[in-house]
């Protein structure tokens, strides 16, 4: 079936289909080519890329496992496999494969070139361990919980380095002896570990989660400032975020327009817009009947966001950094998830092992936000009535 296959011509057919999210058509073209089980690896890779967005996760994993077995040096394949394993809750191997995230062409420049060994989870009493953030703000909020665990296991003096945007919040967490902003010169250290490599180093399992919560605290003065700002607004207060960072590679699948949330408008709540970025302007034109207070222009930093979340009765949000901040604060959060979500939300569950007060509302089919929003509208009506 595959003898004489013109891979270049097939590439010209398949790539546009994948880019246009026409996954079923791509699968239909590729299925006959793999029927004998002897297709070129490129064909298998394309098939995995067509299957995963359709939610065919087990078959995707089988193909990714096969590719990695045949080409163990294909770091892109190993990283793709890691995200599938983590999505399936198979943390042990998933974390090991996840270390290949900085072996890809487009991420190699992001890796910190640290001239010290990476900590492997062993006790290093009397030594100094640098733990540093690496990716998005949400990742930092999610994995700050592990800093005190790492200190306890390593027995080391811990230096925590985070981006300046989250420095003040991180400074009120536990588990470090010294904290600094990324870009500052750290004190001498003996070993280092990225925040998101701590799970591999420490062998994190689902049974270890969530750990003590909350593990992030808002600033008391900011809370009081926002309490006064919001005092005239009727309760309950439902914070709202409907779009993530536009540069995120999966943003098209995770973000919404505010007008899509029109079914929430008739719940007797005051909505607090925490939306930042280009979608912030939509708050000036809320759906008919929605009582929306746009706070975006008054939010200077994550300290403000944390203070508002500590006062709000609930956050309803797409998968973005405020979700993880709310979770770290131990606040109630309802997360709107695409059909195949980011790995950290796992599969087929309405709760999150990471955040005890989170509820997950998943698309029942790819692109079906209407069902998600209808479900939230029903639940939000009950939630609001219980607080009136």
- Predicted confidence (pLDDT) per residue in 204-239, tens digit: 999 999 999 999 999 999 999 999 999 999 999 999
pLDDT band of residue 114 (cuts 50, 70, 90) is confident
Residues 12 and 72 reside in one and the same domain: yes
Question: What pLDDT shows up at residue 105?
Answer: 62
Beta bridge partners of 158: 129
| Closest by CA position to 342, among listed 373, 376, 318, 316 | 318
Beta bridge partners of 179: 160
Report d(CA 378, CA 363) in Å as an integer.
Answer: 15
At residue 277, the 3 state secondary structure works out as coil
Domain end: 208, 234, 267, which one?
Answer: 208
| Number of structural domains found in the chain | 3
| Closest by CA position to 243, among listed 334, 317, 165 | 317
Domain end: 208, 231, 257, which one?
Answer: 208
Residues 231 and 361 reside in one and the same domain: yes
Element (H, E) at 75: helix 75-87
Q: Which domain holds residue 15?
A: 7-106
285 by Cβ neighbours in 10 Å (0-12 / 13-18 / 19+) ranks as: exposed
Residues 372 and 226 reside in one and the same domain: yes
Tens of pLDDT, residue by residue over 343-385, are 999 999 999 999 999 999 999 999 999 999 999 999 999 999 9
Report d(CA 333, CA 343) in Å as an integer.
Answer: 18
Residue 215 belongs to some domain of the structure: no
Report d(CA 344, CA 208) in Å as an integer.
Answer: 14
Element (H, E) at 132: strand 128-132
Q: What is the model's pTM?
A: 0.94
pLDDT band of residue 106 (cuts 50, 70, 90) is low
pLDDT band of residue 253 (cuts 50, 70, 90) is confident
Per-residue b/e over 235-268, b at no fewer than 16 CB within 10 Å?
ebbbbbbbbbbeeeeeeebbbbebebbebbbebe
């Amino acid at each position: 079936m595959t003898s004489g296959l013109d891979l270049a011509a097939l590439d010209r057919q398949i790539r546009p289909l994948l880019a246009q999210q026409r996954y079923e058509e791509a699968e239909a073209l590729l299925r006959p080519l793999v029927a004998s089980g002897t297709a070129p690896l490129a064909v298998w890779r394309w098939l995995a890329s067509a299957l995963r967005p359709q939610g065919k996760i087990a078959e995707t994993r089988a193909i990714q496992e096969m590719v990695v077995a045949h080409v163990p040096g294909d770091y892109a394949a190993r990283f793709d496999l890691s995200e599938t394993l983590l999505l399936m809750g198979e943390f042990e191997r998933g974390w090991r494969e996840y270390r290949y995230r900085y072996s890809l062409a487009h991420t190699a420049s992001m890796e910190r070139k640290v001239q010290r060994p990476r900590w492997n989870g062993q006790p290093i009493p009397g030594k100094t361990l640098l733990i540093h953030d690496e990716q998005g703000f949400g990742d930092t909020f999610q994995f700050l919980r592990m800093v005190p665990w790492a200190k306890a296991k390593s027995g080391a003096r811990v230096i925590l380095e985070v981006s300046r945007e989250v420095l003040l919040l991180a400074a009120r967490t536990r588990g470090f002896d010294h904290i600094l902003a990324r870009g500052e010169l750290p004190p001498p250290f003996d070993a280092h570990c990225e925040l998101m490599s701590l799970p591999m180093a420490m062998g994190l399992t689902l049974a270890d989660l969530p750990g003590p919560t909350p593990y992030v605290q808002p600033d008391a003065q900011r809370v009081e400032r926002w309490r006064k700002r919001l005092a005239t607004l009727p309760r309950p207060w439902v914070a709202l975020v409907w779009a993530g960072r536009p540069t995120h590679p999966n943003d098209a699948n995770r973000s919404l327009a505010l007008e899509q949330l029109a079914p929430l408008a008739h719940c007797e709540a005051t909505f607090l817009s925490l939306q930042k970025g280009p979608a912030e302007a939509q708050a000036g034109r809320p759906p008919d009947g929605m009582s929306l207070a746009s706070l975006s222009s008054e939010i200077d930093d994550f300290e403000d966001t944390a203070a508002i979340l500590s006062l709000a009765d609930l956050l309803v949000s797409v998968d973005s950094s405020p979700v993880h901040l709310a979770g770290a604060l131990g606040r109630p959060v309802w997360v709107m998830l695409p059909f195949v979500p980011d790995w950290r939300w796992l599969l087929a569950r309405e709760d999150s092992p990471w955040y005890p007060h989170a509820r997950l509302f998943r698309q029942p089919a790819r692109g079906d936000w209407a069902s998600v929003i209808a479900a939230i509208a029903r639940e939000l009506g009950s939630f609001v009535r219980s607080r009136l």
